[in-house]
Structure 1
Amino acid sequence: MRRLVSLLLSIGILSGAFIGCSTNNQKEVSDNENSSNISSKEKNNKEEVKNDNKDKKESKDSENDTKAKKEEKSSENKEVVTVKDGVITIPKGFKIAEITFDYNRKNIVELNEIENYSDLDKENIYGAIIGKNPLEVGNIDKDWSYNTFIMKGFSINYPNFFEIQKDEVPNLEFGITLRSKDKKMEFSVGSYMNNMGNDAKEEFENLIETFKKEGKVINKNQDGNTFSFIVEKDGFMEYHYGYISIKGDDVNTFIYKYPVKYKDVFNKIIEESKKSFVPTKQFPKLSNNTNK
């Protein structure tokens, strides 16, 4: 009897141990499964975040590319006329329009397109405009390109949404004035007599004092033979750039007037005009690399 009781007790103890072991094993398996599921879920979440960030980056890159292409399309044809060391290089396909000036009335009489640069009547014309279509007027909000204006004294690149004003006297003593179709933007280039015999620094300081009375003068800069500044007034900006080769010489200058909302566009335009503004004594000679 005692042996039977002992045997039953032994069996009960072993069964309890086996059940406990089985329960623990099941718990460990369940814990492992839960841990595996959590780890997998975290991994999936990380992958989703990573892919989401990648999609956002690709979307942003695509937007930037589209914006850049739109700006490039709406800004300008990158081909421009260059003048260096008295030699002009004209891209293939560019056309030329010569400007006839009435020196008695001091206004432009005619704009005539000619075939070749060598055909310019340099002794009798006022200047010339060179570009893909020099007589066509662009649109600042759509498509435009750079034209080049040349005359005895200088050459400069400017945007073709400005057009010649035939019936107006230029703002400068010696030069030309162009306006946008709506007359809200203006471009003048030329020179004026340095009556006070100033150098660039003296002329700059004199102009700043004068224009301070007309508006807010910003972006003031004077370096060597050049100076520049902007006058801001009534929602418009007027950029002035000047160059005096030696003290007392004439002041070579160009001026842009435009609404403040176009300041970013004009920052680029001004840089191109500054880079291309070349004072010369005569009309530049034609480069051998030009098909004109």
Structure 2
Amino acid sequence: MHYYIYPKNWDGEDIAFNLSYFDKESTIHFIDDKDEEISLKQQAEKIKQDKESLVLIASKYRYFDLAGKLESAGIVNYVDGLKFCASKLSSYCLVKIARKNQEKLCVGLLVTQLPHSEHVRYVDFLLAKNIPIVFIATNQSSFEKYAQNYPDECVILVRCDLLEYIDFLTVVCATTHYAKFHSNVISILNPQGLLDPVQNYFYLNREKVDVLIGSRINFDYIFCHTKEMLEFYKYKIKDGFLSNSLKFIPVGYPSLDSYLGGGAIYSLCKRK
């Protein structure tokens, strides 16, 4: 299959990378109106003549705008690229996951360039329990690293809105709040270092800290490494700043992190 990805943004590049990696026979071109050589105007006739191709719209917020441009150019063979790629990733990964777990339970670990995001203790814990892991890398070097180090696990590259469309994970754990996951996935924030809200006030003003804390509303659970952190979040709920739906799990930091945190992830995974 030949794909035209429109536009060439982070999501578009991630779609291209994942499709190329998991489907070696696919070929890909980009459409981007910021670059005259690969603009829709420049490629429209070629795309219309290519009956075997499919245009993947790689934008959550501009989907209808870009779809309108395609239709105005006489191109109707297009789909939502984010949904399409997420579906493909689900198909590819679930085959691998099913080899280890017939119930297709799995844990996603978001691995970023930030310190303490490698989930080393959790990885060891989950591997010992034979729970399939899906590493969600946010750059190509991390993707290659985890693909090489954990060949029996799944690794995908997701940096932006594509993450919200990944629905086959049972539980996902992140160390950064800059992430939004599919509503079907149990999401856990495991704040590290400066993401500890108690520490935030030492480095940032109250307004910036409140913005950071408010962004955590997208998670189902938050690991609390200290009594102060737990009390802080409970106060924010009473204050009406955070939703009552948020749940907090006390875990040790750092010595008990692997046992309590890994056990909590495992428990949530088996509960679903």
Q: Same fold (TM over 0.5)?
A: no
Identify, as 1 or 2, the structure richer in helix: 2
- Comparing both chains, which one has the higher relative contact order based on Cα–Cα distances under 8 Å and sequence gaps of 6 or more? 1
Greater Rg, structure 1 or structure 2?
A: 1
Identify, as 1 or 2, the structure richer in strand: 1
TM-score, normalising length: structure 2? 0.23
TM-score, normalising length: structure 1? 0.22
